[in-house]
């Protein structure tokens, strides 16, 4: 079997999640190319230990060095958002296939440059919107496409967390506009916008609002744990210039209405993704914290028998599940990345497009930009092209 040599850029949270996927994907999925964990690139003294722990053959602190390697076929970008465009364009110019973490870019203008680069280079390109690979979400997509909902009326989506409610939590990179582009909006709303577009279709216009609840936070201290003071005991403060919460209304091109809410100040919510779709024939509801379950209402049943029923999406007939465990043996967050890289590797091997590609993720980026423009100008804004 022909090998696919992989280079990973970034070794923190997402680098760990993606490494786990490459380490395990061939153990569960029938692949048409053999993934080889060739090189990881990261900054810090812990990179060699990360490489050894997660099975990377080599390591470097220079991403140009990784891209220059003729024995690297495929590059996975797991860096802060401000580096996505620079690295993806360079990877495309080097002829590498690309998987890039979300959001695709800092804004739509950068995303457009990335689309042009991969189009010119004719390389495979995918964006890591991992929640599409939950079996229950993929099942919902199949059922909606089969007409189970009829005409879609409503989409309501939430992505709620609470991990920065403590005002002493430090100003990490996700809270700095120059690095992240936006706050909860690009980080969390990007996911539920992608899911809504995947399930229902394109969003045509939006109106939104944003809020930053804690406008200054302690700066991070090198070598200290999150929220710790420096050795002198005095906290050096920095401005938080991104959104802590963003909510918006949307109109879909097919006439459906949407409500979207993302916050990191929703006490008690850890990774609270909820998406509900209502139509003329029924409704679906998915909650990520119970990710193996899909709730389905069939309005064509007898009135006395109607009600939401739980579908436990762990049967071998459900998307992706046949590669995993017997029925009822649930899978978790990390498996969404394994499902994703299985699709990507086989897509490269068979020269088939895997979604969402950069062009598809650009549409999500345009929605993100339109919401921020709307919040600034206090008006409805079309999502563009």
258 beta partners: 155, 250
| Predicted pLDDT at 222 | 58
Strand pairing partners for 310? Answer: 295
Half-sphere exposure of 290 (CA within 13 A, CB side): 11
Main-chain dihedrals φ then ψ at residue 243, nearest 5 degrees: -80, 135
Three-class secondary structure of residue 241 per DSSP = coil
Residue 283 — φ and ψ, nearest 5°? -145, 155
Judged by average pLDDT, the poorest of 42-51, 224-233, 254-263 is 224-233
**Reduced to 3 states, what is the DSSP secondary structure of residue 155?**
strand
How confident is the model at residue 12, as a pLDDT? 96
| Lookup: tokens for 280 | 């003329």
Structure tokens belonging to residue 49: 């230990």
Of the candidates 209, 300, 200, the residue with the CA atom closest to the CA atom of residue 256: 200
At 235 the pLDDT is 76
Say which residue the tokens 């919460």 belong to: 245
Give me the percent of the chain exceeding a pLDDT of 70: 96
Q: Which helix (H) or strand (E) holds 278?
A: strand 272-279
Question: Model confidence over 37-87: pLDDT tens digits?
Answer: 999 999 999 999 999 999 999 999 999 999 999 999 999 999 999 999 999
What is the predicted pLDDT for the residue at 87? Answer: 98
Instruction: Say if CB 65 and CB 83 are below 8 A apart.
Output: no
Q: Could you read off the pLDDT of 63-72 as tens digits, one per residue? A: 999 999 999 9
**Domains of the chain, each with CATH number or no CATH:** 3-130 (3.40.50.720), 132-377 (3.30.360.10)
Angle at Cα 376 formed by Cα 108 and Cα 113, nearest 5°? 10
CA nearest to 169, candidates 160, 179, 159, 161: 161
Structure tokens at 160: 């709620």
**What is the rounded distance in angstroms from the CA atom of residue 254 to the CA atom of residue 352?**
28
9 strand-pairing partners: 41, 77
Yes or no: say if 262 and 188 are a contact pair by the CB < 8 Å rule: yes
Average pLDDT, the chain: 95
**Per-residue pLDDT tens over the stretch 157-209:** 999 999 999 999 999 999 999 999 999 999 999 999 999 999 999 999 999 99
Q: Which of the four pLDDT bands, split at 50, 70 and 90, describes residue 229?
A: very low
Does residue 254 register a pLDDT over 50? yes
d(CA 25, CA 171): 35
Nearest Cα neighbor of 244 from 177, 155, 312 is 177
Give the torsion sign (CA, 214, 219, 223, 228). Answer: negative
Residues 6+ apart with CB under 8 A from 3: 33, 34, 35, 36
Residues 180, 279: Cα–Cα separation, whole Å: 36
Task: Identify the pLDDT of residue 385.
Answer: 64
Instruction: Tell which residue, 111, 52, 68, has the closest CA to residue 86.
Output: 111
What predicted TM-score, i.e. pTM, was given to this entire model?
0.95
Task: Give the total residue count for the chain.
Answer: 385
Report the distance separating Cα 156 and Cα 173, nearest Å.
Answer: 29
Relative to beta strand 3-9, strand 74-77 is: parallel
């Amino acid at each position: 079997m022909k090998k696919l040599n992989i280079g990973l850029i970034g070794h923190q949270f997402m680098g760990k999640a993606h490494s786990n996927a490459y380490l395990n994907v061939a153990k569960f999925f029938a692949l048409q190319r053999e993934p080889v964990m060739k090189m990881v690139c990261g900054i810090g003294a812990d990179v060699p230990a990360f490489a050894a722990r997660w099975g990377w053959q080599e390591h470097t602190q220079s991403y140009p060095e990784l891209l220059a390697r003729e024995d690297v076929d495929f590059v996975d970008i797991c860096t802060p958002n401000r580096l996505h465009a620079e690295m993806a364009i360079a990877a495309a110019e080097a002829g590498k296939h690309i998987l890039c973490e979300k959001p695709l870019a800092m804004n739509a203008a950068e995303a457009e440059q990335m689309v042009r680069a991969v189009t010119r280079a004719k390389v495979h390109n995918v964006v890591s919107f991992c929640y599409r690979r939950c079996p229950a979400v993929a099942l919902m997509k199949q059922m909606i496409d089969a007409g189970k909902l009829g005409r879609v009326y409503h989409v309501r989506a939430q992505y709620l967390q609470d991990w920065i409610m403590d005002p002493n939590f430090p100003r990490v990179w996700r809270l700095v506009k120059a690095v992240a582009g936006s706050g909860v909006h690009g980080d969390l709303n990007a996911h539920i916008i992608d899911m809504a577009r995947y399930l229902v279709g394109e969003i045509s216009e939006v109106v939104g609002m944003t809020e930053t609840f804690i406008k200054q936070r302690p700066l991070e201290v090198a070598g200290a744990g999150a929220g710790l003071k420096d050795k002198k005991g005095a906290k050096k403060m920095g401005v938080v210039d991104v959104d802590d919460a963003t909510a918006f209304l949307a109109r879909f091109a097919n006439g459906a209405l949407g409500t979207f809410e993302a916050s990191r100040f929703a006490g008690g919510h850890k990774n609270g993704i909820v998406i509900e779709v209502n139509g003329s024939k029924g409704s679906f509801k998915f909650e990520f914290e119970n990710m193996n379950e899909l709730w389905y209402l069939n309005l064509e049943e007898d009135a006395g028998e109607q009600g939401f029923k739980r579908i436990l999406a762990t049967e071998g007939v459900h998307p992706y599940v046949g590669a995993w465990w017997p029925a009822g043996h649930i899978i978790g967050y990390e498996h969404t990345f394994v499902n994703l890289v299985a699709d990507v590797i086989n897509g490269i091997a068979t020269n088939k497009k895997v979604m969402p590609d950069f062009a598809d993720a650009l549409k999500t980026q345009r929605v993100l930009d339109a919401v921020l423009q709307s919040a600034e100008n206090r008006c409805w804004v079309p999502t563009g092209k």
